[in-house]
Structure 1
Amino acid sequence: MLFFNDVEKDLNVLLHNMQQIIFYLNKNKYNSIVKIKKTYCLIVSNRYGSTDNIELFNYINSAVTTYNNHKQYSVESSDASIAGICKSIDKSIYLSQYVTKDQFIGLPHANLLYCNDKKINLFFPQSFSINEINDLVNIADSAALNFDSRIVNTDSSAFEYFVDIKVIGNSLGWIGHQLSTYNCLSSCVVARDHNSMEKDFSYTVSRDFNDLDDPIFVGQNSARKSIAKLNSKKISTQVSPIIFSSDISYELFFCLMSAINGHVVYNKSTFLLNYLGKKIFPNWLNIFENPFLNKGLSSSLFDNEGVATVTRKIIKNGILKTWLLDTYSSNRLNMYNTGHAGAAYNWLVSASANTKFLKSFDDIIHSMYQGFFVTELLGDGFNIMTGEYSSGACGFWIEKGKIQYPVHEITISGNLLDIWKNIVCMADDINLKNKIQCSSLLIDKIQISGF
């Protein structure tokens, strides 16, 4: 099994290798960023109390990006040895001569690099035995199968454990590293009655194994969700209020994340091109980005170029406050680098303090009175150029403020600017299982296509 000493030893080796690689870069006067990542993984799945699959493996890869006279080239390899990475550097420099010059490429400014002034804890090593994990997964599987006689099959319950070692360095002499762990326990079962058969799943994720939900809850929740979908109905085409459940509401903000990425902005290929500093959400809605959450699923001290991350307001009182920029896109736009090379971080979606727009989930169901409660989205129908949004959906029909019956085979659609502005209120059932932490949302009206 995996022990902390293995990870610590590997980290020391990779840091030593990176120091030698930077020496090689400086000796040859190369400008480059080098990334090394090693991942350990343990996966155990179980069906009907028997082990279905066990995987225990690790893999490593390196990525080299060189900047040669305003020409950029990248090489990736599974060879993370000193000699292997130096070979990748030489290959990258050689091939870069065939690339077109671009005045905007280059390393980030040295004063933007992370300088060890903050700490976050994302690393919670755990030693497991196969028997312990088998027991954990079997508890979830058994809890689902024994929940109700209508649960007739299991699509397996599974546990996944990852440890990541990330080391980044560049020719400016900077080296940064980060250790992280990730745990996931899931259960998926099939429910059947005389008229229909449905399948659904439940899961729990965390950096720290001890923060996972109880396996009995995970199993029973997957059973409960599968049973609730039995005897689903179609509904007629109409314009209706809808509620996005906290399990899927974050997807509306993933669209925002994509649309404010610096690369689509300088290419003028986003529907939000002219909306910086303008209102795109109700004035009570805010989105705060916090890269420094301990145990955060998308926390990081620095981006993929080594630029230090900072907290920032993405949306303030409904107004779009920033683009997400790396070195290249910030140079193209002549704007400040926001440290978003590779990813965005933890987004916290909230309502302004002391506002009437934050309610309990029962209250927003009652406020809607009649409409569609969306619990699952199917497919990706987002046009980043126009903002048009379309997705298959299933969930439940609400009448007189109460859930009446499950609904399937419908499509919801509209323009995201309209959808965002029509958010009426949000619930207090915030979901912490995603990089975008959001609760259920009530939207005033949206097009529903049914029969």
Structure 2
Amino acid sequence: MTPSDLSTLTQRLIAAARNAGADASDAMAVQGTSVSVDVRAGALEHAERSEGVDLGLRVFVGQKQANVSSSDTSDRTVEEMATRAVAMAREAPDDPHSGLADPEQLITDWDIDALELYDPTPEPSADTLQDDAMAAEAAAQGVNGVSQVQQSTGAYGSRQVWLATSTGFSGGYTRTDRAISCVAISGTGTGMERDYSGDSRIFQSDLRPAAELGREAGERAVARVGARKPPTGQFSVLFDERVSSTLIGHLLAAANGSAVARGASWLRDLLGEAVLPDGLNLVEDPHRPRTGGSRPFDGEGLATQRRNIVENGVLTGWTLDLASGRKLGMASTGNAARGTSGPPSPSNWNVALDQGTASQADLIRDMGTGLLVTSMIGSTINPNTGDYSRGAAGIWVENGELTYPVNECTIAGSLPEMLRRIFPANDARTHLSRVVPSLLVPGMTLAGN
């Protein structure tokens, strides 16, 4: 389907909702194509291709709302969706905060080409994806100490999105993505260790070479051979760039307007207070070209905008859609995200934490004794207090030197205190949607031996 076809679909849904008795409605149509090829032991293991169109319709009857979805675009289904949605809305409880954006709030003009969300390069063939996966696997297998490659994958996706509202908004965009990933295993028996590498880009020409990714996966797996538990006590913890974004993710989750409105956020009383070290900024920019979180408008037809979530260490505001903004007596920040099967909810787009001037090696040298965390499993985060506990693995640092691999340990602390003490490195990958460098946190609790 063309964007014009998707636009027509959404207008059909809105017209059907109006005919069924809805006071207002919005509709989303998404056409997606995805292809993935997995290889193992030098042979094709699995190949999959999927194509389809998904429709979503949200209707309002007074202050009651309901959402329905379907993958059938026939006229009969469109009418049935509208009838069912209106019937559901009439039985739903009143929600004083629900409702569409006013016409004057809607974005009317944007430059989709400036965001570079779509790669016009032809879709790669299954053979090309298989060749990439095979090259990554061969490179990983070629690393001395790698016993096997669990999986190597080449993938491609394309997605067209169109959103329309009964108050006059209609717009859409197309995005593509191309990815290679590889998971390598070192050792044998109970001494097996696993690690990975991968890359995903909007433009195929930006993708890192498959062999480079495979070799990196193999080297990471081999570096974990002989892992043991670290000592228990208070130590500095350096979160590697691969996992450091999870710390900022916890901050973003606590600043989400939905959590704040429910009172389920340890940040709820810290608006206008310091939450990061002085001088650090956390910036959201949904207009960065060739970046996965970029978009011209949100899931309610409002303009997305660049904003400082944290400025000079101080929390400046919440992440809001229309409903959460109304609950908190604030305006939407243009952060409504939605799919076809449910109503919008607040979500962040691209975010970037200021980088420091020191390299990761500098921080390792200066941290003395502690743990470089390269992977984490599980999560116990108390949303009300910010108490933090996670399983971790990585490399033990002794007197500023990397010494031996570590696994089966737990790192714990208080998120408010941890975030106020972070020291950022300068190694963030700037093409990611979350640009976060390695982060050193002193004085965490480690539970090992």
TM over 0.5: yes
Aligned to 1:137: 133
What letter matches 1:225 in structure 2? R
Cα displacement (A) at 1:195 = 7.9
When structure 1 is superposed on structure 2, of 179-188 and 112-121 the one drifting more is: 112-121
Cα displacement (A) at 1:29 = 5.9
Aligned to 1:354: none
Q: 2 CA distance for matches of 1:83 and 1:291?
A: 38
Q: 2 CA distance for matches of 1:195 and 1:20?
A: 59
Aligned to 2:340: none
Cα displacement (A) at 1:308 = 1.2
Q: 2 CA distance for matches of 1:21 and 1:197?
A: 54
Aligned to 1:450: 448
When structure 1 is superposed on structure 2, of 60-69 and 211-220 the one drifting more is: 60-69
Cα displacement (A) at 1:173 = 2.2
Contact 2:61 2:86 in 1 (8 A): yes
When structure 1 is superposed on structure 2, of 28-37 and 44-53 the one drifting more is: 28-37
Q: 1 CA distance for matches of 2:325 and 2:275?
A: 23
Q: 1:35-184 alignment to 2 at 5 Å?
A: 35-119=28-112, 120-125=115-120, 126-148=122-144, 150-184=145-179
Q: Indicate the SS of the match to 2:354.
A: strand
Residue 263 (str. 1) matches residue 240 (str. 2): no
What letter matches 1:435 in structure 2? S
When structure 1 is superposed on structure 2, of 287-296 and 51-60 the one drifting more is: 51-60
Contact 1:236 1:450 in 2 (8 A): yes
Cα displacement (A) at 1:82 = 4.5
What letter matches 2:133 in structure 1? V
Contact 1:427 1:440 in 2 (8 A): yes
Cα displacement (A) at 1:108 = 1.3
Q: 1:361-440 alignment to 2 at 5 Å?
A: 361-423=360-422, 425-432=423-430, 434-440=432-438
Cα displacement (A) at 1:32 = 0.7
Calculate the aligned-residue CA RMSD, in Å: 1.7
Cα displacement (A) at 1:229 = 0.3
Residue 282 (str. 1) matches residue 277 (str. 2): yes
Residue 307 (str. 1) matches residue 268 (str. 2): no
Aligned to 2:348: 344
Contact 1:205 1:433 in 2 (8 A): no
Q: 2 CA distance for matches of 1:56 and 1:102?
A: 41
Contact 1:195 1:231 in 2 (8 A): no
Contact 1:64 1:85 in 2 (8 A): no
Q: 2 CA distance for matches of 1:252 and 1:104?
A: 31
Q: 1:9-28 alignment to 2 at 5 Å?
A: 9-25=1-17
Aligned to 2:344: none
Q: 1 CA distance for matches of 2:414 and 2:111?
A: 40
Q: Describe the shift of the 1:377–1:194 C-alpha distance in structure 2 as closer, same or farther (beyond 3 A).
A: closer
Contact 1:166 1:177 in 2 (8 A): yes
Q: 2 CA distance for matches of 1:434 and 1:442?
A: 20
Contact 1:422 1:445 in 2 (8 A): no
Query: Structure 2 residue aligned with 1:192, among 187, 190, 198?
Result: 187
Q: 2 CA distance for matches of 1:225 and 1:439?
A: 19
1:389-447 CA distances to partner (integer Å, 9 max, x unpaired)? 11000000112222111011000011100110111x21111034642111101112111
What letter matches 2:261 in structure 1? Y
Aligned to 1:441: 439
Q: Indicate the SS of the match to 1:288.
A: strand
When structure 1 is superposed on structure 2, of 342-351 and 80-89 the one drifting more is: 80-89
Unaligned runs of 5+ in 1: 1-8, 352-356
Cα displacement (A) at 1:111 = 2.1
Cα displacement (A) at 1:194 = 9.1
When structure 1 is superposed on structure 2, of 72-81 and 163-172 the one drifting more is: 72-81
When structure 1 is superposed on structure 2, of 85-94 and 132-141 the one drifting more is: 85-94
What letter matches 2:442 in structure 1? D
1:350-382 CA distances to partner (integer Å, 9 max, x unpaired)? 04xxxxx53112211111122110000111211
Cα displacement (A) at 1:112 = 2.2
Cα displacement (A) at 1:279 = 0.5
What letter matches 2:243 in structure 1? I
**Percent identical:** 26
1:92-136 CA distances to partner (integer Å, 9 max, x unpaired)? 111111111122211112222222233321111432222222211
Contact 1:422 1:444 in 2 (8 A): yes
Q: 1 CA distance for matches of 2:387 and 2:158?
A: 38
Cα displacement (A) at 1:81 = 3.8
Contact 1:21 1:82 in 2 (8 A): no
Aligned to 1:205: 200
When structure 1 is superposed on structure 2, of 388-397 and 360-369 the one drifting more is: 360-369
Q: 1 CA distance for matches of 2:131 and 2:438?
A: 34
Contact 1:208 1:295 in 2 (8 A): yes
1:171-195 CA distances to partner (integer Å, 9 max, x unpaired)? 0121110100111100111111698
Aligned residue pair count? 436
Q: Describe the shift of the 1:117–1:11 C-alpha distance in structure 2 as closer, same or farther (beyond 3 A).
A: closer
Cα displacement (A) at 1:329 = 0.9
Q: Describe the shift of the 1:196–1:174 C-alpha distance in structure 2 as closer, same or farther (beyond 3 A).
A: same
What letter matches 2:83 in structure 1? D
Aligned to 1:235: 230
Q: Describe the shift of the 1:406–1:23 C-alpha distance in structure 2 as closer, same or farther (beyond 3 A).
A: same
